[in-house]
Each structure stands twice: as structure tokens, then as C-alpha cells.
Amino acid sequence: MKYTIVIGVSSGIAAYKIVDLIKILKYKNIEIEVIMTNTAVKIFGVEMFEKAAGKKVYTDLVPDGFDYREVLKKREVEHIKLADAASLFVIAPATANIIGKIAAGIADDFLTTTILATEAPVLICPSMNIHMWENPIVQKNLDELKKLGYFILHPDSGQLACGYEGVGRLAHPQKIAEEILRLLYEKEKLKGKKIIITAGGTSEPIDAVRTITNRASGKMGTAIAQECYLRGADVLLLKSKTAVGTNAPQDTSGVASWKFDPGSLLRELDPGSYRGHDSPDGGVIKIEIFETAKNLEELIKKYIKNYDILFHTAAVSDFLPEKIIDKKLDSQKPVVLKLRPAPKILHQIKSWNKKIKLVGFKAVYKLEEKELIDAGIKKLKESNSDYIIVNDVGKEGVGFGVDTNEVYIVSPKGFLVKIPKASKKEVARKILDYIFR
Ligand SMILES: Cc1cc2nc3c(=O)[nH]c(=O)nc-3n(C[C@H](O)[C@H](O)[C@H](O)COP(=O)(O)O)c2cc1C
């Protein structure tokens, strides 16, 4: 597989070392694109980078002679093209300034705009004066970025260009290259594995227009699907109609696919043009949409025999209306709804494919840590799962609807690990690191 690394060069004094990094990566047959900040251009010029990369370096968001009509004609914007092309985005050296700008979501030049637009993993390689490095604002920004799933390569210690001695030297180009290759290798780790992820919440009809549902957004499941895909797995995402970004067909009979261009996994594409086929390199996440628990059960049964692993993150209704009213209820009259407990899909999955590696999710509400772990172990036994991932949705920033999560993993060996609160993307990464370690 041919990878493209986009290297963002900001104006750290160590920027000249990036020429060596480019040479190492080119030797590994990796496609390189370079973006420089204006200050980096002022200090170093573009020539040595263009020579090393063997192509033009990007610097200006709006270059001389820019004509917006060309953009409209070609339907192509340079920085978005680069953002999408990146298998991995590397910022080296990363100044205190660029770190602060990324953490604040600022996009005021070519580099920061492209970073904001990419969905590729981003590796940040800071380098700066020791006092800048120790400044709590810089450390706070780095912590924030780490929580959001950015990778940070710690700077080395030693003699600094400013005359100080201490932490702040750009990691050696060889070390940066190794980290890049490690991250790219991660992409291959689940190659050949077939993984189903269920995501979102079921909706059960009450009458012709109303449903009972829950607050699940599908964000955790979608993050796991994305991460499995990035690691090379063949992914089928069964997601609810109510889950994030569902523009896909609501016909559950056909497989829809999202094309993957690394920068836009979660961008909706015209489903019609991707229906029912994979690209030759497997570059899609296949999607099926469900609405009710019954739909979901049917879909799992349809596919499960051909898959190796199932992450069941979907929140399936615990109750179903005893009968569905075949018309629109009169809103002026009181209604008594009778609900019955719904069958537990998770508990049946192993009976549909006993070889499947089953990862179940359990939401608890405001429990002490010990009770939470006990609830996970009980669920594990009831469902015969290989792992149960428990979260306490009563905690702020955990579980339904939000962008962050905090989870505990249990297996038949008992409690394994707590993944502290972080973005769902980061939590998804750690769950996979743990389960496939
Ligand atoms: C000679 C020189 C060396 C610099 N080295 C660094 C550095 O190593 N790290 C850093 O964070 N800033 C360094 N700076 C400061 C940045 O250039 C400055 O904060 C600039 O605004 C950053 O812009 P940029 O992030 O868009 O490149 C240096 C400035 C100069 C003039």
C-alpha cells in the first residue's frame, strides 16, 4: 500500500532536520507532501524542502493569481485535497504557537487549515526552548490534544539552539520516522479480520408516527468502526436510523457503503453510488441501517456467520410496546402504554455464531466502581461475551450523546483495565489496543 505523509513544518529552529526525515521516508517509498508556515519560509526558505521532497511545497492558502472561478470549475481546493490525501499528518517541528493554534481550533494559514480539515491521525513533534516547553499553557494545550486523539512525540533533552540545556530538542529524524512507521503499521494490524459493529439506539413504534427510543448517538460505535477500518479490518457498521450522520439508505435490504478517503471517513457520500460494492482495496466501511430491535437482530443473524468479531455498542430497547397501534393516536386523549421486557440480543449472539469474538457494552447509572465492575462481570456471564465494556452514563461526559467516554473492560479473567475519560476516538483506540494486544 502506498502511503502519503503530509509534513507540516512550522518555524522551530530544528526545521532544517526535516530534510533528513523526508529523505528517510522517501527511501521507504512513502509519498511526501510538505506544508510550511510563513515564518518557517521566512527563516529557512522553501528550496531545501522542495529539493528533498522533489516537488512544490505548500505555503499560501491564497497564492498570487488565485482565481475562485477555477475552484468552482474544478471542484477542488488544494488544502482539502491534501487533508484528504494524508494517511498520516506529521507536524515537525511543532512550535508552541502551532500547538496552541491547533488546540484552539484556529485555521488562519495553509497548515492550520489543512490540519483542521484532516481526519487522518496527526503526530505532533514539538521542539522549543525549555521554558516554553515547561510553560503550563503549552502543557495544557498538549494535554488537550492528547485527549482528542492527537499523537505527541516527546522532545529530547540536551543542548538547545537557544543556548539552554534541557528538554525541548526535536526528536531525532530517525526516531520521528520510526514513530511514523509504527503508526502506519498500526493500520495493518487488523488486516484480514472481519468485524461487525452495532451502533446507535433502537426505536420501537408506539403508533404510526411515534416511537420509544433512547439517547444513544452511535458515536462510540462509529469511532470503533473508524478505528477498526484504519487498522485494516473489513468493517460492517450496523447503525440506527437515529445515529450520527445517517444519510445512508433506510432500506435495510441492501448494503450501503461509505467510501473511505482517509480525510473524510464520516462524511456522508451519495449512498446510491456506493451501494452494494467494495472498492478493490477494500476502501469502504459497509453500512446497514436498522430501526427496531427486530431489524437489528435480523441484520446480525444475516451477517454473523461470515464475521470474526462483533462489537455490540448499540443500545437496544429494554422494553417493547405490548402492541403497536396501527394509526396515529389522538393527542387530546390520555393513553396508557403497556411495555414488556425485550429479548436481549447480546445474550443470543453466541448461539448464532459460537466462534465469534464478542465484545458487549453495558451502561450502568451512578454506581460505585466495585458495583460497576460486578455489573460488567454479571453481564459477561449472562451473555457469554469475551469482553464487556462498562460505562457509567450517570457521570458527566460519559456515555450517551457526548463526545467523550470513560470505560472499564472486564473479561472472564475479571476486571482488566479502566480507560479514563477521553474523546471517543481515543477510547476506541485504547479499547482496540487492549483487545488486540
Ligand atoms: C530563529 C528563531 C527560532 C525559533 N525557534 C523556535 C522553536 O524552536 N520553537 C518554537 O516554538 N518557536 C520558535 N521560534 C518562535 C516562532 O518562530 C514564533 O513563535 C512564530 O510565531 C511561530 O510561527 P509558526 O508556528 O506559524 O511557524 C523561533 C523564532 C526564531 C526567530
What average pLDDT does this structure show over 24-34?
Answer: 94
Residues sharing a CB contact under 8 Å with residue 3, sequence separation 6 or more, in sequence order: 30, 31, 87, 88, 184
Amino acid at 355: K
C-beta of 40 in contact with ligand 1 (< 6 A) = yes
Tell me how far apart the alpha carbons of residues 220 and 423 are, in angstroms, rounded to a whole number: 9
Tell me how far apart the alpha carbons of residues 356 and 371 are, in angstroms, rounded to a whole number: 28
Tell me how far apart the alpha carbons of residues 245 and 120 are, in angstroms, rounded to a whole number: 19
Say which DSSP state 242 is in. Answer: T
- Residue holding cell 520510526? 178
Ligand 1 centroid distance, CA of 15 (Å): 10
Nearest ligand 1 atom to alpha carbon 94: 11
Ligand 1 centroid distance, CA of 91 (Å): 14
Q: In terms of C-beta density within 10 A (0-12 exposed, 13-18 middle, 19 or more buried), how is residue 308 classed?
A: middle
Q: What is the pLDDT of residue 97?
A: 98
Going by alpha carbons, the residue nearest to atom 19 of ligand 1 is: 97
From 61-75, 88-102, 130-144, 249-263, the region with the lowest mean pLDDT:
249-263
Nearest ligand 1 atom to alpha carbon 109: 26
Q: Report the residue among 9, 11, 108 best suited for mutation to probe ligand 1: largest number of ligand atoms under 8 A from its CB.
A: 11
Q: What is the pLDDT of residue 32?
A: 97
- Nearest-5° Cα angle at 355, 184 to 405: 50
Cβ neighbour number for residue 188 with a 10 Å cutoff: 11
- Residue holding cell 475519560? 421
| Residue 133 reports pLDDT greater than 50 | yes
Q: Pinpoint the alpha helices (H) of 358-412.
A: 369-383
C-beta of 83 in contact with ligand 1 (< 6 A) = no
Going by alpha carbons, the residue nearest to atom 3 of ligand 1 is: 13
Cβ neighbour number for residue 311 with a 10 Å cutoff: 28
Tell me how far apart the alpha carbons of residues 112 and 119 are, in angstroms, rounded to a whole number: 13
Q: How confident is the model over 314-328, as pLDDT tens digits? A: 999 999 999 999 999
Percent of the chain whose predicted confidence (pLDDT) is above 90: 74
CA distances from 284 to 209, 272, 287 (A): 34, 14, 9
Tell me how far apart the alpha carbons of residues 214 and 365 are, in angstroms, rounded to a whole number: 14
For the entire predicted model, the pTM comes to 0.66
CA distances from 362 to 290, 314, 373 (A): 20, 10, 10
Q: Using DSSP, state whether 172 is helix, strand or coil.
A: coil
Q: Using DSSP, state whether 317 is helix, strand or coil.
A: coil
Cell numbers found for residue 98: 502551532
Asked whether the bond before 93 is cis by omega within 30 degrees of 0, the reply is yes
Q: How confident is the model over 276-285, as pLDDT tens digits? A: 223 323 356 8
CA distances from 172 to 49, 112, 156, 430 (A): 17, 24, 8, 27
Strand 284-290, strand 357-364: pairing? unpaired
Nearest ligand 1 atom to alpha carbon 96: 11
What average pLDDT does this structure show over 32-61?
Answer: 97
- Residue holding cell 524542502? 49
Length of the chain counted residue by residue: 437
**pLDDT band, residue 245 (cuts 50/70/90):** low
Q: Which of 198, 400, 195, 194 is nearest to 288 (CA)?
A: 198
| Residue 3 reports pLDDT greater than 80 | yes
Q: Report the residue among 38, 41, 95 best suited for mutation to probe ligand 1: largest number of ligand atoms under 8 A from its CB.
A: 95
Say which DSSP state 22 is in. Answer: H
Ligand 1 centroid distance, CA of 359 (Å): 47
Percent of the chain whose predicted confidence (pLDDT) is above 70: 91
C-beta of 10 in contact with ligand 1 (< 6 A) = yes
Going by alpha carbons, the residue nearest to atom 9 of ligand 1 is: 128
Residues paired with 90 in a beta bridge: 7, 123
C-beta of 112 in contact with ligand 1 (< 6 A) = no
Q: What is the pLDDT of residue 263?
A: 33
Q: Which of 129, 127, 200 is nearest to 163 (CA)?
A: 129
Nearest ligand 1 atom to alpha carbon 10: 27
Going by alpha carbons, the residue nearest to atom 17 of ligand 1 is: 11
Would you name the residues annotated as active-site residues? 162
Ligand 1 centroid distance, CA of 11 (Å): 5
C-beta of 295 in contact with ligand 1 (< 6 A) = no
**List of domains in the chain:** 4-186 (3.40.50.1950), 194-435 (3.40.50.10300)
CA distances from 169 to 92, 141, 166, 172, 270 (A): 11, 18, 8, 8, 47
Tell me how far apart the alpha carbons of residues 148 and 201 are, in angstroms, rounded to a whole number: 24
Question: DSSP 3-state helix, strand, coil percentages of the chain (rounded to 5)?
Answer: 35, 25, 40
Strand 387-392, strand 404-411: pairing? antiparallel
Mean pLDDT across the chain:
88
